[in-house]
A and B are shown apart, each in its own frame.
Chain A
């Protein structure tokens, strides 16, 4: 009699434990390989919280494929890399405004994707404050990728697709990066962020000069640096060449009267203000300004000397003590400044194979 309940116990226990046993029999996976993110010497602490999304080789690799794959767009042709091309420091070289699906024109110039770990906000108007929330914007913008993130996730789940340029197996890649094949918005955005965290530009000629190699600069470049510090660095501040503030630099509004930051905050005092861009790689990212109106660094400096418009929200730093707008610079000053600005170009960054299109992207 006594034995019967025990047997029932054992049977019950076995039955109850069937699932975990099966689980246990699966081969032990080692999981994704951690990837160290190294802060360049002299750079501030990053803003992005890497502890919430620690980089792994598999995560970064997945992010790279997602970054370049047109599957993010409604037409399956426009990837992030279409308007953010490596050779132009991840901008859309030669395009004042970028064109998305079906050549629909946007309203702003494609900004450089670099050093995103330090960004306090994103886009020219700072409408997004978190790297992980950035991709929703271009994907859903009707003039960029014109797609729904829910549809992208559906499409990713159905890969590999034999009709693709490269039949990428996304469920497998998500499993390698995150442990299971599940594809959701959190994982998708975190993989994209992981890749973008690796897009660090800190190996320009300027960086060699900065780290103690005085011979890295010519006399003209050194003069340019001095002029830069005197005239430009109050906004294009520090080692990242921006203070991340929003300012009106006196550009005459165009026909669409882009309010910039003002459209985000709804405050009249923010109208026509745009984010101060980093000047790293500025020699590679023409055309310039939020609407791509200037095609060369010469034109940009001519703007600052000659065509800064007086507007209610014009930045006070662009009003001289004598009441004139702009920054006084001689043509010799401008040449030196441009020579200096070109030292911010980072050849290693734009040639780094780890950041390059794995063969999946489209550039137009």
Chain B
């Protein structure tokens, strides 16, 4: 036990004395949360649009101020002719153009129908879609108001309610994602590197010719990173609750338990990498391609898994982050208990045991 404690203390010395790495390890989750929370957001806010108003009557002016007043749009340009539209898009200054034809109000008054054209920059299809949807909603809203006193026959009204995330905040989905990513990075990458570093420096050679059991070496290496991950989980949760205002709806204990389970799985994977590689570079490369990319691509955090082709959907099942991401969403955002996520928890536990067994079996007690 004294051996073990001494080894763990030595690991802490390594981590604490490598100030730059420590700074990255502790600063990274904070940076990521802040970047995802404020800079990299897929919410559409204040998109620049242009208006070509060929009618310039009370109705178009009312619509124009409705658009401008919404938080989605910012009217930055008034166009005078059809030809100017393309130029404005090409300069990249606007995301969408709204075109009112001549006689908009009189058409609306006399024929009960009028047209408005929305031209969107679909080089980013998701944004184009969102923008046209928002604009349509605003226009329909206006129409509702002017027809309010007249009852139209046969109208179906859609009534929407956004459960769990009524404000449609992006933070609700990326907080679990960032948690998965950060834990992955700290645990898998750092454990793999730290063990391989001892091989590279030759200290593993001395450690092997000592009474210290290899298994103890490995566990002692993992302990500091487990603690470091706990710090990171705490800082992510604090930031998301107090800065991004994402509530923890479920049990905090369950959430922490699941996080530790996922952390251990990542540690075991890092261990497995370290048993198979001899240089820090290889270890880093394998950790990044083998774990980091799948975590981003196949966990459902960036891209919905449901839309993927079947082979990728099957492949995504072996990515631990997918299950963790799911669990965190269910527990933290939906506020569900263990009964809702026991299956995923079991899968993660299975992965942990499998990886751990494999890496202990592969741990070399000799040099070659």
Q: Do A and B bind each other?
A: no
